[in-house]
Structures are given as structure tokens and as C-alpha cells.
Amino acid sequence: MLTIAGSDSGGGAGIQADLKTMLALGVHGMSVIAAVTAQNSVGVQGYWELPPEAVRAQLDSVLGDIGAEAVKTGMLASPRLVTLVAEVLAGVNAPVVVDPVGVSKHGDPLLAPEAVDVVKTRLLPVATVVTPNLWEVEQLTSVKVEDEDGLRPAAEAMLELGPAWVLVKGGHLPGPPVDLLTDGTREFRFRAERHDNRHTHGTGCTLASAIASHLALGEDVPGAVGKAKQYVTGAIAHGFPLGAGIGPVDHAWRWR
């Protein structure tokens, strides 16, 4: 399975979280690094996108020789990198999970404002599943979700941008977290216990990678999302303090 995303020097999110998730779920992880962040438990101190030719070379190298049973995208930083990745993925015969990363857990921007339209017009139409949180839904569609009743209109607005499935993550709503998955016809709601744990760095990356991992293993989309939700819920429950801020989820919780 291939992740195309940014590197998190603190190890809790991004490429590092993706590869840990893949290993935990039994798939071989490969990576194309689109950007490098200076990042720790208290925030993102800076990021540097890689040149398009470096990203293209990584994609050609991995896909030309090994191939991928599923692909996950995360932080792509700029319009030119979003465009490049979308062009390549349009020719890949594998499910694509798009995590439309806009900001970090700490509120630091990870996507240039001018790249938002490119994500909408180029990347989302090639997505098998897109996994926005409520802030990303608003960024991409201008739909603001205030409660669980707002999840369906948000998902419908996301579907209009072209993905096959949308998983709107409702973790930032009050009460027990609920996520809504739909392809416009079928609808599934995934509920979980809310754990009293602030160490949740990397949850979005981890969930998207877990979905892609289960798709690579042959699950259908609802089945992959259900298993990924169980894995992430356990990882959040076992999240641990690291540094002075928001610690990571525990990707290896099932092994301990």
C-alpha cells in the first residue's frame, strides 16, 4: 500500500503514522514524501514541499516496479503537487483514499489557500473515499456542521465534488463521536465511545491509512471503514503523553 503525504518529524502523524498503521494492520507500506515538516507535540514550526520532479520520481519508481493495492493521500501542500498527484492517480487501478489535510491538530496550516480549489477540482474526483473532518468540509464546501443532523447535508455537498464515497468525521461534535459514510445511495453511521484522552495527534492520518489498508486486503468500503474505526478508537484510547503538548495515538495498541 502506498501513502503520498508529508513527513512528521515528531512521528505522530503524516508518513510516519501511515507506515505504522500499515504495519499494524498487516500490509506492506510504501511512501512518496511530498513535504517535510518540522513538527512536534506543540505544533508545526515549518514545512517545505519537495520539488515536483522529486515527487514524480518517487511515484514512478514505486508504481512502475511494485505497484499498489491501495493508495492514501495526505498533506500535499501546494497546487502543483496536488495537480501532479491527481494526474498520476487518475491512471492507477487501485482504490484511493484522500485525507484532505488542511491544518494540523494544533491549527497550523498545511495546505496553501490557493491549493483548495485544485483539491476540489482535480483530486477529489479520483477518490474512492474522501475523509474530511468538519473543518475540512467547511473549507471545501462552505457547509458548516453544528450537530449530527448536519452530517448528511455535508456529505452530499462533498459528493458533488466527485468522490465515490464520503466519510464525514464527526469527532469534533459534542457527545459520542459519530462518522457518516455514504455514496449518495447507501448510508452508514459509525459510533464509538469518546475517550477522555487529549493525546490524539495523527488520528486523521491513521484513520485514512487504516481504511486504505483494509481496502488493500480486499474489504469493501463500508467494511474497511468499520474495521478502521475500531482500530483508531483503540489507538486513541491508548494515546500517550509525548513532549509538552498533544501526544500521539498508539498505533501498536493491539500488540501490547
* Cα distances (angstroms) measured from residue 104 to each of 37, 45, 77: 11, 11, 12
**pLDDT for 209:** 98
Answer whether residue 116 shows pLDDT above 80: yes
> Which letter, b or e, does each residue of 133-154 get, where b requires 16 or more Cβ atoms within 10 Å of its Cβ?
bbebbbbbbebebeebebbeeb
Q: Which of 4-8, 56-60, 151-155, 170-174 has the lowest mean pLDDT?
A: 170-174
Cell triple for 97? 483514499
Of 169, 182, 229, 233, catalytic:
169
In the annotation, is 200 catalytic?
yes
Q: Are 103 and 36 in contact (CB under 8 A)?
A: no
Dmax (CA) of the chain: 47
Q: How far apart are CA 74 and CA 49, in angstroms?
A: 13
205 annotated active-site: yes
Using a pLDDT cut of 70, give the percent of the chain over it.
Answer: 100
C-alpha span between 26 and 96 (Å, rounded): 18
Q: Which of 3, 37, 182, 200 is catalytic?
A: 200
Model confidence at 2, in pLDDT bands (50, 70, 90)? very high
Report whether pLDDT(104) > 80: no
For residue 217, pLDDT over 90 is answered with yes
21 carries an active-site annotation: no
226 is catalytic: no
pLDDT, residue 221, reads: 98
Q: Give the contacts of 102 (CB within 8 A, at least 6 positions apart).
A: 109, 110, 111, 116, 135, 136, 139
Quick one: cell of 220? 469493501
Selection from 185, 135, 189, 139 nearest residue 161 by Cα: 139
* The three grid cell numbers given for residue 82, joined into one nine-digit string: 496536488
- pLDDT score recorded for residue 81: 96
What's the predicted TM-score (pTM) here?
0.97
Q: Going by DSSP bridges, is the β-strand pair 178-182/71-73 parallel, antiparallel, or unpaired?
A: unpaired
pLDDT tens profile 218-236: 999 999 999 999 999 999 9
Catalytic residue flag (residue 175): no
Residue partners of 77: CB distance under 8 A and separation at least 6: 6, 34, 35, 47, 49, 110, 111, 112, 115
Nearest Cα to 32, choosing from 43, 64, 224? 64
Q: Is 204 one of the catalytic residues?
A: yes
Per DSSP bridges, beta strands 96-98 and 129-130 are parallel
Which of 115, 212, 69, 96 has its CA nearest to residue 163? Answer: 96
